[in-house]
Amino acid sequence: MKTTILPADNEKSLYRASEILKQGGLVAFPTDTVYGVGALAFHGKAVESIYAAKDRPLEKAIPLLVNGLGDFGKVAKDIPPMAMKLAAHYWPGPLTLVVPKDPILPGEISSKPTVGVRVPDHPTTLALLKITGPLAVTSANISGQPSPKRAAQVFHQLNGRIPLILDGGKAPGGMPSTVVDCTGREPVILRDGPISAEDIHSVLA
């Protein structure tokens, strides 16, 4: 497979990316945290191919990106009030919320009854999501390797494994999102990130 790099700030590039995604392919692109590689959230075979491209363990769930708070309900059911409060405060931004998933999501997303959801604060990602709808997205690296901050770093790791990389320059955050499990009575930090535990608790206080 040949891996092509196109400029992210180009309408034709976004159209090409959306076409690849709709055909079940994978595309890497910048987000507000690091570069991610994504597939259509409701395309099980495409989501499955993310694991192969990254050499990712199958037991690790893949989080979802959505275009805005209004799309939260497209991928989640019975969203806990604390999750809605955190989403309203921090989205778009580097916060992934683990909530009960909609049963219509393919099993390749997660074998568990939950899913991680986030709205990214990056114009390229939001423009792509507006065209495609929810995407299953994880960092665009070989599993266990450093999360890429630039398109060249994605190419170094995933060249020949995915068809397209959108080059949007350096990812502004450079650090994966904070992950918070909202399915219990209290929030549980599953992964530290740009938003601290203190920040989370202050919003919910």
Over the stretch 44-79, which tens digit does the pLDDT of each residue have?
999 999 999 999 998 899 999 999 999 999 999 999
| Average pLDDT score over the chain | 96
Residue 82 lies in a domain: no
Overall number of domains in the chain: 1
- Structural domain contains residue 202: no
Report the CATH number that the domain containing residue 112 is assigned in CATH. 3.90.870.10
On the CB side of 118, CA atoms within 13 Å amount to: 24
Class of residue 37 by CB neighbours under 10 A (exposed 0-12, middle 13-18, buried 19+): buried
How far, CA to CA in Å, does 90 sit from each of 10, 70, 85? Answer: 28, 14, 9
Closest CA to 60 of 179, 186, 148: 179
Task: Judge whether 194 lies within some domain.
Answer: no
* Structural domain includes residue 45: yes
Host domain of residue 137: 4-77+102-173
What CA dihedral angle connects 120, 121, 123 and 128, to 10 degrees? 10
Confidence category of residue 178, pLDDT binned at 50, 70, 90: very high
List, for residues 71-100, the tens digit of each pLDDT value: 999 999 999 999 999 999 999 999 999 999
Residue 123: pLDDT band (50, 70, 90) is very high
Pairing type for strands 178-181 and 95-100 reads parallel
203 located within any domain? no
DSSP alpha helix (H) spans, the chain: 11-22, 44-54, 81-90, 123-132, 151-158, 197-204
Residue 114 structure tokens? 């939950």
The distance from CA 10 to its chain's CA centroid, rounded to whole angstroms, is 21
Q: How far apart are CA 33 and CA 103, in angstroms?
A: 28
Confidence band for 174, pLDDT divided at 50, 70 and 90: confident
- CA gap 35, 39 in Å, rounded: 14
Q: What's the pLDDT score for residue 86?
A: 98
Q: Is residue 178 part of a domain?
A: no
Residue 185 domain-assigned? no
pLDDT tens digits, 149-165: 999 999 999 999 999 99
**Beta-bridge partners for 27:** 38, 164
The full DSSP string for 39-79 is EETT-HHHHHHHHHHHT--TTS---EE-SSGGGGGGTBSS-
Q: How many CA atoms lie within 13 A of 133 on its CB side?
A: 9
In a domain, 30, yes or no: yes
